[in-house]
Structures are given as structure tokens and as C-alpha cells.
Amino acid sequence: MPEKDKIRILYVDDDQDDLVLVTSLLQKTQAKNYELENAPTLEEALAKLKGKFSVFLIDYKFGKSGDVDLIKEIKNLRKHAPVIMLTGINSPIIDLEALQLGASDYLVKGQFDERILERTMRFAMRDAQLLESLENTAMKFRSIFERAGDPFLLMDQDSKIMEANPMFVNKFGFDPHLDKDKENYFFKDLFEDDAARNQMIDVLDHNLDMFEMEATMHAIGDNLITTLVSIVKQDVNLFQVMVKDLSAIKAKVEEDIYLKKFSSTGRIARLLAHEVKNPLTTIVLSADQLNLELPEEVKKESGDLIDVIRRNCDRINQLVTQLLDSTRFTELKTKNCSINQLLDEALEHVMDRADFKGITIEKIYQKDICEINVDSEKVKIALTNLLVNAIEAMEEGVGKLVLKTYIMSQHCRIEVRDNGVGISKENLERLFEPFFTNKPTGSGLGLTNSQSIILSHGGSIRVKSEVGKGTNFIITFNLA
């Protein structure tokens, strides 16, 4: 018989008569693949434990004798090892004790035949295998749960969080296992807007099997993130939830839209400039000629009309030039510099205005931030435009400007956040357009210029804003 088909039994008992009995019973069984090995003392039993046995038959007195817990030693080597105890007496106490010691079953000496012995061993081995495979499966799923790149949680019908994986803890900043100060955590509390929250509560109330929705959620560090929430019913009063963070995808889409818009505005501007500049030159030359040719008395009467023509031509010329300049990729003279320092220098330019309006400034700079390779003068202009806008948007005395620098996924990020008037949805769409302004004397070119400078560096600029709450500009540069 091949070695792998043998079922090796370690029989721990000092009674030689019992050994003879058990051996003869085994010989009588149908299956002939049993191989019995006897250990008559505890020392021998311990020495033999590593010998790869399929099942253990242990006389009751060896189960736990003195300081040595034989069953525990066996289970240390194989957690669910099938252990059957042999006792001289049958009593409910023995039954309980055997179980407590970790035995799978027990047999009363003299009260079992070969069939009972064989079946007891077979069942004990089968149970051990079952437990092992269950534990393996559980461990595999546990590992998927633990290592998942997306937040995962289990919640009940009230959306109370029962379990959450490390990614969830990372993203949302609390651990239902550790944060004992809060009695209960509810998934619904993470929702930003009521409509989405109610929709989710409705799904739970109606006990739907599966549901997917987009929702804005409160993430760690006061951040709002756009997510895709998938809810799957697992059991009565138990739901699985996966939360996919869509912020990065959304940001990329937004950046692409801005870049496309910038390029197409630039194309229109160049076309327009080309078509306007030639006739404009002709008008200016003609006005000059007229000025020379008109008789003095006519000029005395309507000479300032020529001035009006000249002045307006200059104005058109200037607008076209500004339009062209603000909508094209600019030439750069780059060198490595510290982003914290650039931001500080830009801030220096606007400090008098900020002080004048009594604005508080908070700097959250990453200290060891790497350098970026940029045209420092141009980037300073881009940042100054954002700072000026922020200061102008805030109320006197209560304004708070937060400047943040940090590294995120191989990029350098700058945030300029204010608690000013905010920007409406319609205006957000037109924000970077040339000449778009809400200010009586605004040029509407500040953001267009900032965007042009940042895009020329291969960077990106995005904005998040809420009317009445404030605005946050997020700029990204590649690291040097």
C-alpha cells in the first residue's frame, strides 16, 4: 500500500491488554490501511508527536497529566487534529471534560467494537478536514477583505457598521473596532447630502438585494469625496458595502475638459487675432492719412472723431493681444525651486491687501517637500492671481486663507482655499474663460493667465467651490 494512503494512528496508553485489543479490532475492520503506533508513556508520546499522524487515540489519564497537556501539544502542531479519548468509565462529566480538553470524541473501553472504533475515527478525521478547509476559506476571504484596495464594510439594516477593512479605516478615519469613545458608527452619517442618504436608507428599508449609487461622502481630514457605493444584501440584517472613491477619476476628467477648453479657446483667439489685426491696421493707417489730408477747418470741427477712432483701435488691439497672450502655451525659463518658497513669495505680494482686510492666514506646508522644475517668475504670477481673487472674495475681519502644499501620487500639490463667497455652478463653467469677470473693474484675465501658465508647465488646475462657503483651487505640478 502506498505510504500516502496509510492512516497512521498514535495510540497513547500504558495498558498492554488494551493495546492488544485495539490492534485486533483494527485488524478486523474492512479498511486495511490503518497503521497503529503505540506510545506507552507521556515522554514517548511527546517525542512521537511530529511523526505525521492522521488521528490520535489517547487514554484518558494522559489527556492532562501533571503539567503536560498532551492534547494541547497535539493541537499546537495541528489546530484541528482529530483526538479521540479512551476512558474506563462512561459519565456525563467525562464527556464534558473530554470536550473541554479539546478532544473530538471519546470511547468507553470495553464498550466499542471494530465498527464503532472505525466510524469514530473516520468521523473525527472528516470533521477535522472540514474545519480546516472552512478555516482556509475564511482566511482567504479575510485576506481579500483586509487587503482590498477599496473600502469594504458590513452593516446592519440601520446602517450600523459591524466590520470595516483597513482601507475603510484609512479613508474615513475611524475604526469601529478601536474608537470606543463613540458607541455606534452608522454608515449613513458619512453621507454629505440628505437626498443620497435617504435613498440609501430606503434601499435598506426595502431590503433590496443589490444597489449601486453615487454619493458624496465625508472622508478623513475634512475632505469630501465622490464615491460609488455598492450595497449587496448578504443575510437577514447584514449588508456588504463597497465604497469606490471616484475623486481621482473625476479630477482627471475635469482636468482633461479644462485642457481641451483651453486649447480650443486658444485656437479661436489666434484665428480672431489674425482676422482682426489686418483690417485694424488698415483703419489706423487710414485715420492717420485722413488726419494729414483733411483741411484745417474740417479738422477743427470734427478732429476729435479721428482721436476716437484711434483710441478705440488701440483698445481693440490691446484686447486682442491680451486674448492671445492669455490663451496660449507660454515659453518657460525653468529651474528647480522650492514650492513652499514660491508660495511664500507670492503671498508677500498680497500681504498688504490681506492685512488691510484683516484676513487670517494658515499655512499647512509639507516640510520635506521636493523641488519642482518651473519658471519661478511665471508660477509666482499664477499663484498671486489666485491669492488676489481669494482675498477679494472674502469678507473683512472673518476671512481665512489656507495655503497647503503636499506630495500626492508622485505630484506636488498646492491648495489655495478661502472661506469667501464661493462660485455658482454656472460661473464655475466659465471661470477660466478670458474676460469672464463678476467684478466692476475686473479684467477677467487673472484665472485665464494662471491656467495658461500652469498648463504650459504640464501641470493642472482644478477648483472646488460652494456658494456661501468658499473656494478651493488645487494646483498640481510634476516633481522635479
Which stretches of the chain bind Mg ion, using CB under 5 A?
389, 446
**Residues 93 to 152: which contact ligand ADP by CB under 6 A?**
none
Strands (E) located in 152-222: 152-155, 161-164, 210-219
**Alpha-carbon span 144 to 147, nearest angstrom:** 5
Site string for ligand ADP, 27-66 (x = CB under 6 A): ----------------------------------------
- 353 contacts ligand ADP (rule: CB under 6 A): no
Report in angstroms how near the CB of residue 291 gets to ligand ADP at its nearest.
35
Task: Out of 85, 200, 204, 393, name the contact with ligand ADP by CB under 6 A.
Answer: 393
Question: Among Mg ion, ligand ADP, none, what binds residue 436 when CB lies within 5 to 8 Å by partner kind?
Answer: ligand ADP
Enter the C-alpha cell of residue 122: 473516520
Which residues lie across from 64 on neighbouring strands?
Answer: 69
* Residues forming a β-bridge with 404: 364, 415
Q: Which stretch binds ligand ADP (CB under 6 A): 131-139, 170-178, 207-215, 418-426?
A: 418-426
Residue 459 to residue 474: CA distance in whole angstroms: 11
Residue 419-438 contact track with ligand ADP, rule CB under 6 A, x = bound = -xx-x-------x----xxx
- CA angle, 105 then 108 then 111, to 5°: 125
d(CA 73, CA 81): 10
Q: Which of 439, 466, 478, 479 binds ligand ADP (CB under 6 A)?
A: 439
Is the Cβ–Cβ distance between 225 and 245 less than 8 Å? yes
Q: Which is nearer to ligand ADP, 102 or 420 (CB)?
A: 420
Contact 366, 406 (CB under 8 A): yes
Q: Please work out, in degrees rounded to the nearest 5, the angle formed at the alpha carbon of residue 241 by the alpha carbons of 235 and 243.
A: 170
Q: What is the grid cell recorded at 155?
A: 452593516
Q: Give the integer Cα–Cα distance in Å for 463 and 374.
A: 21
Closest approach, Cβ 454 to ligand ADP, in A, equals 13
* 446 near ligand ADP (CB under 6 A): yes
CB atoms within 10 A of CB 61: 16
- Residue 405: contacted member of Mg ion, ligand ADP, none (CB under 5 to 8 Å, by partner type): none
CB of 467 to ligand ADP, least distance (A): 9
Q: Which stretch binds ligand ADP (CB under 6 A): 132-140, 206-214, 249-257, 444-452?
A: 444-452
DSSP 149: S
266 binds, among ligand ADP, Mg ion, none (CB under 5 to 8 A by kind): none
- Other beta carbons within 10 angstroms of residue 45's beta carbon come to 23
Chosen from Mg ion, ligand ADP, none, partner binding at 394 (C-beta under 5 to 8 Å by type):
none
User: Where does this chain bind ligand ADP (CB under 6 A)?
Assistant: 385, 389-390, 393, 418, 420-421, 423, 431, 436-439, 442-448, 471
